[in-house]
Structure 1
Amino acid sequence: MHDPYAWPLDFEALVFAPALAVGYALLVRHYGASRWRVTCFVAGLALILAVFVTPLHPIALHYLLSIHLLQNVVLAEWAPALCVVGLPAAIRGPRLLTHPVVALPLWVGTYFVWHVPVVYDAALRHQGSLLHLEHLSYFVTGCLFWWPALRDEPHRLTFGARAMYLFAAFVVASPLGLMLALIPRAIYDYYVQAPRLWGLSPLTDQQIGGGAMALEQAAVLFAVGTWFFLRFLSSEGRADTFRSLGSPPPVQSSRKMSDGR
């Protein structure tokens, strides 16, 4: 029986997060970065540590699917977004992999493939290899996914395009959480056989995790997408004003996203 309230030191805490921190420090030393960017990146690292150094990690590994889904959301969505924003403005992403028509399918495909029951169970039964690969793939594809929305280079998307991109992401990603919440049986054998914690049955655990995932994606993707949509409407309003005055409208851009170092 594993202690659900242990504070572990696993690969993600001993290797992954420190490697990110060292790599970021080298980038900042070479390119420089504004304080707000550093704060964002550090917040992303803090989120990773929060779900891998605290008791959330043993609970996710040995007891509750819902907590493991929380880890996945942190690695695939929250931490990548903060880390991408936190990178120095001079950093350019790989042109092909950060193109919206490539980045979005890679991110969604990674999410869905790892949640196929046989694959999900295999990763949890091979925690020293497959599970680490799963976590790394979530973070990498998460960074690629957020890049077109939160960075200006190499694809300078308009605010309207960024809003559409994030709304499309919600449409294609949300069925996974909804399926887990609505399917009438527990589909992951690993958690069906796991010891019970807090009186949650495997099905209730799965429903909580799936419902929370769907709500989280709606909140995050819609919130950021709506912010870009409002920026788009604001820029269009300014353009109409310039046209009414007989002046050429300014070219819509998102330079403010990369102001500062």
Structure 2
Amino acid sequence: MPFEVQPDVVLLMVALGAGYLWALRSLGPRVAPDEVTQRRRPVLFFTGLLVLTVAASWPIDTIGDGYLFSVHMGQYLLMTLVAAPLLLAGVPGWLLRELTVPIRPAVAWLARPLIALLILNTILVVSHWPALIEIYVTNDVVHFAMHVLWVGSGLLFWMPILSPIPEYPRLSEPLQMGYLFLSSVIPTFPASFLTWADGPFYDVYAEAPRLWGISAITDTQAAGLVMKLGGGILLWSVITVIFFRWVATQTDPSADSNPPSRIRPSNGAPLQHR
């Protein structure tokens, strides 16, 4: 596996980063002059962009496409459970509002917790169907579309947890923990089929050159463990953070003494939470 630069990935990530900086410096002062973007948001956004670049580039993308299915599964987790929440957490509320104005009703419906959870897991199962995997590793258009679906479903999935605007409301902390707990349980069922498989599921990985002496069956079982344990560790880490943050608000009466002011739309009327 000689080193290779994927110019399409580099150009896309540079374009996304440049567009984000332009929005902060030029668009924000015009559309939201009274809103201050927290300094941590650019850090989170560019960290997410870095994770996305690593996941979509050599060597992860090369190994995941034609050698080891377990690395492919790790690539999926990086895009949906690491890069997506970092990108969403890095987008200021005013920017998310501007980006989704034309499709706000659709996003509001798709970002409902049960809908977003169903979308994420449906794409997980469908995108790893053996027939589709065979096309994914050989067709560049399908390959790119799959990555877009992974990141897009990840952004919708994290909206009930990280949304910065009331148009797409967050769940309360107890419901956030329940939502993430359910999200950690559902993938264990398809992961079990991989973990306890007695043969490889995918011809393209079964016939691929063996890296580091890893057999095709071991690779398939490792992919199940990556899905089950890797995804579970990521989600339970977030659950732990939410739990301690929620406990702190329950024990500190001053935590809610200064609730955030309501964001007003352009007509000046306060937005109402439903």
TM-score normalised over the length of structure 1: 0.83
Question: Which residue in the other structure is 2:234 paired with?
Answer: 220
Structure 1 counterpart of 2:109: 96
Structure ranking higher on relative contact order (CA contacts 8 Å, 6+ apart): 1
- Give the equivalent residue in structure 1 for 2:263: none
C-alpha distance after superposition, 1:170-211 (max 9, x if no partner): 111232333322222110111011111111111111122221
1:20 paired residue number: 16
Question: What secondary structure does 1:156 align onto?
Answer: coil
**Correspondence for 2:123:** 110
Cα distance in 1 for residues equivalent to 2:9 and 2:74: 15
How large is the RMSD of aligned CA atoms in angstroms?
A: 2.5
CA deviations on 1:51-101 (whole Å, 9 max, x unpaired) are 333322222222111121121111122100110111113334631121112
What secondary structure, in the 3-state scheme, does the structure 1 residue paired with 2:110 have? coil
Given the superposition, is the C-alpha separation of residues 22 and 196 from structure 1 closer, same or farther in structure 2, using an over 3 Å criterion? same
Q: Is the 8 A contact 1:167 1:221 kept in 2?
A: yes
Are 2:156 and 1:160 equivalent residues in the alignment? no
SS of aligned partner of 1:96: helix
Stretches of structure 2 lacking an aligned partner (at least 5 in a row): 29-35, 101-106, 261-274
Counterpart selection for 2:5 from 3, 8, 11: 8
CA contact (8 A) 1:159 1:229 kept: yes
CA distance in 2, matches of 1:182, 1:251: 52
Partner of 2:64 in structure 1?
Answer: 60
Q: What's the offset of the Cα at 1:133?
A: 0.8
Aligned partner (choices 78, 81, 91) of residue 77 of structure 1: 81
Q: Aligned ranges for residues 1-261 of structure 1 at < 5 Å?
A: 4-15=1-12, 17-29=13-25, 30-31=27-28, 33-90=37-94, 91-92=96-97, 94-126=107-139, 128-153=140-165, 154-238=168-252
Q: Alpha-carbon deviation of 1:26?
A: 3.1
Cα-to-partner distance string for 1:155-179 (whole Å, 9 max, x where unaligned): 1321111111111111112323333
Q: What do residues 194-246 of structure 1 show as CA deviations (whole Å, max 9, x unaligned)?
A: 1111111111111222212211111111111122233333434457xx9xxxx
Range 141-150 or range 67-76, more displaced: 67-76
Distance 1:221 1:158 in 2: 17
Structure 1 position 117, deviation (Å): 1.2
Q: 1:259 matched to which residue of 2?
A: none
Q: Name the residue aligned to 2:267.
A: none
| Partner Cα separation in structure 1 for residue 53 and residue 164 of structure 2 | 28
Q: Which runs of 5+ in 1 are unaligned?
A: 243-248, 256-261
CA shift digits 1:81-133 (9 cap, x unpaired): 1101111133346311211121111111111110111112221122x111111
Farther off after superposition, 153-162 or 224-233: 224-233
Letter of the 1:162 partner, please give it. Answer: Q
Residue identity (%): 27
Q: Measure, in 2, the Cα distance between the counterparts of 1:212 and 1:102.
A: 25
Are 1:8 and 1:55, in contact at CA under 8 Å, matched by a contact in 2?
no
Asked if structure 2 preserves the Cα contact closer than 8 Å seen for 1:149 and 1:165, the reply is: no
Secondary structure in 2 matching 1:87? coil
